[in-house]
Amino acid sequence: NAGVMQNPRHLVRRRGQEARLRCSPMKGHSHVYWYRQLPEEGLKFMVYLQKENIIDESGMPKERFSAEFPKEGPSILRIQQVVRGDSAAYFCASSPQRSQETQYFGPGTRLLVL
């Protein structure tokens, strides 16, 4: 049973470009969470999605950031017109049930904006 998969593992973008991060949850999991982690800091919640629905996006910046989890395919975190401050590690987690169930994390995507 494969774990949470994320790709790419490393992504380099120039300012103004778009970054697209993908997350495939564990088999049987229908809940996906995205987190951002700056160096030497904890994880900051961004968004919680179920299939075709955004449940909670209170942690996501209002502009340039969007997320989706389509009926088929991986969850996508999209960052438009990236700036240097977007450089961070972005982790995806999944769980079979919401709320108090344990979240299983992927290996992360490290985004570097030049």
- Write out the residues near another protein by the rule CB under 8 A: 4, 33, 35, 40-45, 48, 55-56, 58-59, 91, 93, 98-100, 102-108
Instruction: Count helices and strands (H / E) in the chain.
Output: 0, 11
Compare residues 32 and 82 and give the one whose CB is closer to another protein. 32
CB of 11 to another protein, least distance (A): 15
- Identity (one letter) of the amino acid at 30? S
CB of 91 to another protein, least distance (A): 5
> How far apart are the C-alpha atoms of 86 and 114, rounded to whole Å?
10
> How far apart are the C-alpha atoms of 9 and 21, rounded to whole Å?
9
Compare residues 108 and 113 and give the one whose CB is closer to another protein. 108
